[in-house]
Chain A
Amino acid sequence: MWSFYFSQLTDSIPFFLKGLWMTFKISGISLVLGTVLGFCVGIARASKVKPLRYILYVYVDFMRGTPYLVQIFIVFFILPEWGIQLAAFPAAIFSLTLYAGAYICEIVAGGIEAVDAGQTEAAMATGLNRFQRMRYVVMPQAMRTILPPLVGQYVLLIKDSSIVSVIGLTDITRVGWLTVQRIPEGIMVFGLVGILYFSICYPLILLSNWFERRLRAQGG
């Protein structure tokens, strides 16, 4: 029986690869958009503009304080009630971007605050404007603190993208869920799904560790 199921599973490998491609697309797009959003919002939060900071606190806390599952339900089921109809794919991208953006915002704001204030003051004294200070003085130094957790956040994003399977997107997780209805060997089917995720996430974790070691060695 087991070998029968195994051959059935190897037959559905193309189906799994399609799912893998979907996971790549969803997490890739929201990774890029989330990074852009996170950097914008993070820089805004590190600035001293009070009302802006409070609004961003509300956004970040909502995203960090509620499960992503609830957030995707809100985007997918509630926005249509308010007249915004999103198909599953854009809904997934939209919610994942907002979600990742909040975490990246915290990482970026933390990195900027870790840069010594004297650096900004010196840059001001040299006559650099706000943009130049950020671009040439603060950011290059902040990147050292930002990079390792940022890559770690990408791993979390790819893993959390598995949750979009609940709104019917056929990513790897949903492919596994559909396959297990046909091949009732959960260990085999979700073992394969797990291996696929592992092959994406583990190299990224190693990359994050490497960044951390390398940047620490530089800083010390």
Chain B
Amino acid sequence: MLSAFNFRVIWDYMGLFLQGLWATAWISAIGLAGALLVGIIACMMRISGKKLLSAPAIAYIELIRSTPLLVQLYFFYFGLPSLGIRFTEYQTGIFALSLNSGAYMSEILRAGVQSIPGGQIEAGIAFGLNYLQRLRYIILPQAIGVTIPPMLGQTIVLVKDSALLSLISVFELTRASQILTSERFMPAEGFLTVAVFYLLLYYILKSLSGWWQRHLIHRQA
């Protein structure tokens, strides 16, 4: 079956694949930044202890986690124009991706914050530190260490999820293979090649996570 595999076509389309890889990389990077921002805000609202703030955060997190990203993507893609908001496909895609991953990031952050013993927070209060100071000097320095590996895990999910943006005609890695398939009708060459590129991104992020975990154990020892 590999005898039928046309490497020349892959080579011809390498420029397109690399463009797609680059697009996937920057879409994921912006999506990640957005997700972190949304996640931090949602997490702070959720653990604030004030119903008025935590209720909307919980509703947002549960709604996102209980519906597929593809449905969220279509919701914004078909829905925003009828509200009079005109986003480009890129903006819609990155927006949906950030909102989606933000909910998971917020839960990861919350787990990190809650891993810190309550006594430390109380000690901080006793010292007269305000909420922001407690966050900055007690909670975050400790929470960040344990949250990095699950955050990298979520980043892997985000990179893979960005493939769905090809369905609202955003140009990225998966779209590149769809273009090759429609121009030359060679799906094997197209889809297996992008699979290799995704695996490359996956291994980079995975080894980063492994490295951090070893580094963390080292630091604590």
Contact = CB atoms under 8 A, between A and B. Distances in A.
Contact of B68 (A67, A162, A185, A186): A162
Contact of A201 (B66, B74, B194): B66
23 contacts: A64-B202, A65-B206, A67-B161, A67-B164, A70-B174, A70-B198, A73-B174, A77-B181, A81-B187, A155-B66, A159-B69, A163-B70, A163-B164, A165-B70, A176-B71, A186-B79, A186-B80, A190-B75, A193-B75, A197-B67, A201-B65, A202-B62, A205-B66
A176 B194 CA distance: 29
Interface string A74-95: 1001100110000000000000
Interface residues of A, number: 42
A198 B66 CA distance: 5
Interface in A178-220: 180, 184-187, 189-191, 193-194, 197-198, 201-202, 205
B160 A173 contact: no
A201 B62 CA distance: 10
A69 interface: yes
A199 B63 CA distance: 10
B68 A173 contact: yes
A87 B71 CA distance: 24
Contacts of B76: 186
B55 interface: no
Contacts, number: 130
Given A185-B79, A186-B82, A194-B72, 17 more contacts: A62-B199, A64-B202, A66-B202, A67-B161, A67-B163, A69-B166, A73-B191, A74-B191, A74-B192, A163-B68, A177-B74, A186-B77, A186-B80, A194-B71, A194-B75, A197-B71, A202-B66
Interface of A: 61-62, 64-71, 73-74, 77-78, 81-82, 155, 159-163, 165-166, 173, 176-177, 180, 184-187, 189-191, 193-194, 197-198, 201-202, 205
A71 B195 CA distance: 8
B181 to A, nearest CB: 7
Given A78-B187, A186-B77, A187-B83, A61 B70 contact: no
B202 A190 contact: no
Contacts of B167: 69, 166
B216 interface: no
Contacts of B144: none
A65 B196 CA distance: 9
B123 to A, nearest CB: 25
Instruction: Report the 8 A-B pairs with minimum CB-CB distance, sorted nearest first.
Output: A186-B78, A186-B79, A65-B202, A77-B187, A67-B163, A187-B79, A162-B68, A190-B75
Contacts of B126: none
Interface residues of B, number: 43
A191 B75 contact: yes
Interface in B165-201: 166-167, 174, 177, 181, 187-188, 191-192, 194-195, 198-199
B206 to A, nearest CB: 8
B4 interface: yes
B95 to A, nearest CB: 14
B211 interface: no
Contact of B195 (A64, A66, A189): A66
A163 B70 CA distance: 7
B203 interface: yes
A21 B187 CA distance: 31
Contacts of B160: 66-68
B167 to A, nearest CB: 6
B1 interface: yes
B67 to A, nearest CB: 5
Contact of B202 (A61, A71, A82, A198): A61
A190 B81 CA distance: 13
Contacts of A184: 78, 82
Contact of A74 (B81, B82, B195): B195
